Structure 1
Amino acid sequence: MTLETLIVWLIVGAVAGFLAGLIVKGYGFGLIGNIVIGILGAVLAGWLLPQLGLGFSVGGPLVTSILYAVIGAVVLLILIGLVRRAR
């Protein structure tokens, strides 16, 4: 993995985590936590959406990556919120 790839992953994760935190209010984890949630969300959505036949491409690859990451991060934040509430 190159330094540029790592920087892009961090930026996409930060943007996705921030947007997911706005969409799912009350489940934010701060800057570092949101970056991690955004990156994990991108991995989750990048695998899950094509498996469900919901793969799509909008604009360029960066826009598509951010949208996938936001969808995955929202799903992760909702799941984390449900687990927290169940305790």
Structure 2
Amino acid sequence: MLITFDQIIVWIIVGLLGGSLAGLLAKGEKRGFGVWKNLGLGLAGALVGGLLFRLLGLLQSLDGVTISLRDVIAAFVGSILVLLALWLKGRFAPAQ
């Protein structure tokens, strides 16, 4: 599978949306962790969520070059899983 420039742009947008939602949920602040950390979290979350959803057969057709609610949900779920893994390792402290 060849990755196109369009797919990278979609991943960035979806990752930023998913990471921002996860940051908002985790920190309880409008900005979450800030633009760059939200983007990194969202990209990691999009990767984790996309792989998880593909393995479980959930929300088919995540490979498209479109931005849909399915993609944002996958990135959000993956971002939450990444935050949970970081929290379990002791590198992340939830909002106090």
Q: Give the shorter-chain TM-score range.
A: 0.7 to 0.9
C-alpha distance in 2 between matches for 1:61 and 1:12: 7
Give the SS at the match of 2:68: helix
Question: What stretches of structure 2 of length at least 5 have no aligned partner?
Answer: 61-65
Match of 1:12, as an amino acid?
V
RMSD over aligned CA atoms reads 2.5
TM-score, scaled relative to structure 1: 0.74
4+ aligned runs moved over 3 Å, structure 1: none
Could you say if the C-alpha distance between residues 34 and 85 of structure 1 is closer, same or farther in structure 2, counting changes exceeding 3 Å?
Answer: closer
1:34 aligns with 2:45: no
Matched positions, count: 81
- What are the ranges of 5 or more consecutive residues in structure 1 without an aligned counterpart? none
2:29 paired with 1:55: no
Seq. identity, %: 33
Amino acid at match of 2:10: V
Task: For 2:87, give the aligned amino acid.
Answer: G
SS in structure 2 of the partner of residue 55 of structure 1? coil
Could you give the per-residue CA deviations for residues 37-86 of structure 1, whole angstroms, max 9, x where no partner exists?
A: 111111111112332x36136xx862111100000001101211221269
Q: TM-score, normalised by structure 2?
A: 0.68
